[in-house]
Amino acid sequence: MGDIIIRNLAKEYVNHRILPRVKLNKGAASGDRVLVLDSIDLDFKDGELVCLLGPSGCGKSTLLRILAGFEFYSGFISIDGKQVQGPSPDHIFVFQHNALLPWMTVRENVSLGIRHLKKKQRNARIREYIEMVELEGFEDHYPHHLSGGMLRRAELARALVVNPETLFMDEPFTGLDFLAHMKMREEVVNMHEFIGKTIIMVTHDIDDALIMGDRIVILSGRPAHVKLTQKLDFSRPRDFRNQPELNKLRNEIFLMLGVNYAV
């Protein structure tokens, strides 16, 4: 289960670095406070694929890190009925940039989260997930031998092999070329349909959000509040040319995010 409830969430950073060191030493001030998230209320259903959009620097990654238990916050968040108070093995984070360990092969990287399993069971799981992301034959390769798309797929396998209830993805397609991006997008949608886990994904790409999401959430500029939360009931595979309502929504979202003409 991966129901997520967020109530009255706020996040404030204290930025010490902009104060002169001498002031800090005298203890005259504790730093500038930056309110990043304010009064956020959201509900995500178990198994939903939710895409978070918003202007650069508004706090999308901050919200994702809070959900994954990496940041303190004020307000209330629960996942599957349990209040978020820190990281959990049930909630896996896929980072924006390659986070595979360079001194380990694909197989070793994928096995990281399941080292507690017996060898036979562990090997079967590794095989299953390497097949799922179509990396058969590359098990013994090191990350520097893989293309950008293969690295992202290996990361997905490493995240999924632990069978997490919830997956948090921070711009998972960063750095991929056009074709690899399209392929990965399709793979994540297929994988989501297959495994049915809750996925929360931060993206800059409005098209990714509309093609992939069961729901989109748009945050405002800082301090971010929820500007729009909308369920996407469009059939799949989605196509802007053949689904006029989807295309209309696309134009509205571009406008909402400050772009007058979507191309």
Ligand X SMILES: Nc1ncnc2c1ncn2[C@@H]1O[C@H](COP(=O)(O)OP(=O)(O)OP(=O)(O)O)[C@@H](O)[C@H]1O
Q: Which spans of this chain sit near ligand X (rule: CB under 6 A)?
A: 13, 15, 34, 36, 54, 56-62
Comparison of 180 and 218: residue with beta carbon closer to ligand X: 218
Sheet bearing 4-15, strands edge to edge: 32-44, 4-15, 74-79, 82-83
Comparison of 6 and 161: residue with beta carbon closer to ligand X: 6
**Cis-peptide, bond into residue 223, ω within 30° of zero:** yes
As measured in angstroms, the least distance from the Cβ of 27 to ligand X is 20
Comparison of 174 and 247: residue with beta carbon closer to ligand X: 174
As measured in angstroms, the least distance from the Cβ of 15 to ligand X is 5
Strand bridging mode 49-53 / 198-202: parallel
Task: Give CA 221 to chain center in angstroms.
Answer: 19
CB neighbours of residue 10 within 10 Å: 15
Comparison of 15 and 147: residue with beta carbon closer to ligand X: 15
As measured in angstroms, the least distance from the Cβ of 177 to ligand X is 20
Comparison of 54 and 149: residue with beta carbon closer to ligand X: 54
As measured in angstroms, the least distance from the Cβ of 254 to ligand X is 16
As measured in angstroms, the least distance from the Cβ of 65 to ligand X is 7
The phi-psi region of residue 119 (left if phi > 0; otherwise alpha if psi is between -120 and 50; otherwise beta) is alpha
* Tokens, residue 226: 């929820």
